[in-house]
């Protein structure tokens, strides 16, 4: 069977399995795993938070099917084990956090589990390899994976925002990774894409609404962070290794902006607040659909920059970063002037 067909089949199976799992999970969560409104949460009534379980079921089921029906290149499964073991730890951490709401799992425990999951990645060979010294590579890998895991969790403050960014980022990874020989990234990214597309409508539904929960948002962030450092970017450009900064530009920017806004107010950057860019736009009068579109368009534009970076010379690479930096600075200044009292 042609490889391209297998890729489509992988995404399709993941989509189907997640679509089947989500209604079942909603029934199972009828009296438990519910997110109640309050504080920054403005949704009406209690909503099940087992969306992450459906996404995980789709990804695992799809990859198992592909494994049993194809022959992966040597070494691929070894690397994929690291991604799935780490992802499993992150998922269980998030599930425990959902169970213990509103108190949740303490920050030190979360960071410890996230560090352990990242250590599993490194043990199985998934790390930032742009630097040959492990004294540089491994700490950067920890910062990247732990940072993005929490970045996607922070993005989950509006229906469709986290999952839509996961779709955009995964598309960027798939487009750049598909021509490469990193087969596990190709299949895992497409399995993740299929599961996210299946979940997305449920996040907006009125009667069948279901949330990602911390298990889902943390899982998405971890998997995308792991896959982003598991593929090659430098076949045609020496600057390609910086492409993930563009692929994941929106969640990285949102996290940096929220941290900056809280620090400027003298707040704890780890404590929840209404300083998110999306919430500031909502306060300005933007509709949810308009905010999602703006974020998605920004992410897609950044993906085009990422693709260009993997094929360009140093002069163009420098121009891309200067343009992105100027745009980010202007947006930051504008957003900081918007009121956040909701």
Residues 271 and 319 in one domain: yes
Residue 321 or residue 312, greater confidence: 321
Of the listed ranges 36-40, 120-124, 149-153, 162-166, the one predicted with least confidence: 36-40
Question: Does 271 lie in the same domain as 132?
Answer: no
* Domain end (from 232, 258, 278): 232
Q: Say whether pLDDT at 34 is over 80.
A: no
State the pLDDT confidence band at 3, using cuts at 50, 70 and 90: confident
Residue 53 pLDDT > 50: yes
Instruction: Please answer whether residues 272 and 39 qualify as being in contact, where contact means their C-beta atoms are separated by less than 8 angstroms.
Output: yes
Q: Are residues 292 and 184 in the same domain?
A: no
In the prediction, which pLDDT does 169 show? Answer: 95
Domain-terminating residue out of 232, 258, 290: 232
Q: Are residues 246 and 203 in the same domain?
A: no
Given this model, what pLDDT does residue 35 score? 64
Percentage of residues in the chain with pLDDT exceeding 70?
89
- Per-residue b/e over 299-335, b at no fewer than 16 CB within 10 Å? bebbbebbbbbbebeeeebeebbeebeeebeeebeeb
Instruction: Examine the domain organization and report whether 301 and 173 are in the same domain.
Output: no
pTM greater than the 0.95 cutoff:
no
pLDDT of residue 62: 94
Q: Last residue of a domain, which of 176, 206, 232?
A: 232
Residue 327 has pLDDT above 80, yes or no: yes
What was the pLDDT predicted at 278?
Answer: 92
- Say if residue 74's pLDDT is above 70: no
Q: Looking at residue 152, what is its pLDDT?
A: 96
Between 25 and 218, the more confident residue is 218
Same domain? 130 vs 3: yes
Q: Are residues 171 and 270 in the same domain?
A: no
Q: Identify the band that residue 341 occupies on the pLDDT scale cut at 50, 70 and 90.
A: low
pLDDT at 240 exceeding the cut of 90? no
In this structure, the answer to whether residues 47 and 138 fall within a common structural domain is yes
Mean pLDDT (whole number) for 222-226: 95
d(CA 18, CA 30): 18
HEC profile of the chain: CCHHHHHHHHHHHHHHHHHHHHHHHHHHCCCCCEECCECCECCCCCEECCHHHHHHHHHHHHHHHHHHHCCCCCCHHHHHHHHHHHHHHHHHHHHHHHHCCCCCCCHHHHHHHHHHHHHHHHHCCCCCCCCCCHHHHHHHHHHHHHHHHHHHHHHCCCCCHHHHHHHHHHHHHHHHHCCCCCHHHHHHHHHHHHHHHHHHHHHHCCCCCCCCHHHHHHHHHHHHHHHHCCCCCCCCCCCHHHHHHHHCHHHHHHHHHHHHHHHHCCCCCCCCCCCCHHHHHHHCCCCHHHHHHHHHHHHHHHHHHHHHHCCCCHHHHHHHHHHHHHHHHHHHHHHHCCCCCC
Number of compact structural domains in the chain:
2
Above 50 in pLDDT, residue 143? yes
- Whether the per-residue pLDDT at 36 is higher than 70: the answer is no
Report the mean per-residue pLDDT for the chain: 87
Residue 342 has a pLDDT of 46
In this structure, are residues 156 and 212 in contact, taking their beta carbons and an 8 Å threshold?
Answer: yes
The answer, yes or no, to whether residue 73 has pLDDT greater than 90, is no
Encode pLDDT of 252-304 as tens digits. Answer: 999 999 999 999 888 888 777 778 899 999 988 899 999 999 999 999 999 99
Query: In this structure, are 238 and 206 located in the same domain?
Result: no
Q: Which of 62-66, 69-73, 178-182 has the highest mean pLDDT?
A: 62-66
Read off the pLDDT of residues 159-210 as tens digits, 9 standing for 90 and up. 999 999 999 999 998 888 666 656 777 888 999 999 999 999 999 888 888 8
Beta bridge partners, 38, equal 41
* 247 and 199 assigned to the same domain: no
- Range(s) of the domain holding residue 301: 234-342
Q: Are residues 205 and 247 in the same domain?
A: no
Range 45-55 average pLDDT: 86
The answer, yes or no, to whether residue 238 has pLDDT greater than 90, is no
Q: CA-CA distances (angstroms) from residue 299 to 138, 161, 218?
A: 27, 12, 19
Q: Is the model's pLDDT at 224 over the cut of 60?
A: yes
Q: Are 227 and 255 in the same domain?
A: no
């Amino acid at each position: 069977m042609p490889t391209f067909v297998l890729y489509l089949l992988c995404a399709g199976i993941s989509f189907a399995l997640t679509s089947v799992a989500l209604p079942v999970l909603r029934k199972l969560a009828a009296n438990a795993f519910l997110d109640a409104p309050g504080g920054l949460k403005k949704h009406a009534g209690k909503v099940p938070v087992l969306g992450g379980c459906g996404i995980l079921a789709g990804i695992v089921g799809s990859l198992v099917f592909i494994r049993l029906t194809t022959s992966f290149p040597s070494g691929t499964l070894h690397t994929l084990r690291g991604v799935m073991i780490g992802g499993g730890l992150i998922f269980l951490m998030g599930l425990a956090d959902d169970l213990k709401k509103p108190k949740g799992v303490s920050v030190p425990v979360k960071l410890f589990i996230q560090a352990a999951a990242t250590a599993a990645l490194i043990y199985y060979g998934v790390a930032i390899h742009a630097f040959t010294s492990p004294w540089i590579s491994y700490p950067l890998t920890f910062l990247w994976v732990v940072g993005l895991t929490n970045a996607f969790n922070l993005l989950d403050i509006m229906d469709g925002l986290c999952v839509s960014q996961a779709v955009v980022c995964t598309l960027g990874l798939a487009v750049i990774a598909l021509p490469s020989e990193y087969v596990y990234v190709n299949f895992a990214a497409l399995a993740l894409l299929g599961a996210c597309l299946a979940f997305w409508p449920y996040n907006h539904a009125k009667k069948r609404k279901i949330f990602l929960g911390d298990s889902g948002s943390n899982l998405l962030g971890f998997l995308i962070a792991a896959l982003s450092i598991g593929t090659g970017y430098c076949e045609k450009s020496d600057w390609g290794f910086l492409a993930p900064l563009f692929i994941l530009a929106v969640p990285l920017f949102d996290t940096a902006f929220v941290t900056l806004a809280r620090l400027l107010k003298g707040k704890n950057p780890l404590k929840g607040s209404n300083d998110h860019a999306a919430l500031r736009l909502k306060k300005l009068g933007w509709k949810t659909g308009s905010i999602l579109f703006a974020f998605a368009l920004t992410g897609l534009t950044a993906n085009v920059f990422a693709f260009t970076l993997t094929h360009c010379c140093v002069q163009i690479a420098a121009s891309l970063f200067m343009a992105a930096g100027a745009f980010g600075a202007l947006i930051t200044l504008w957003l900081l002037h918007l009121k956040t009292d909701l």
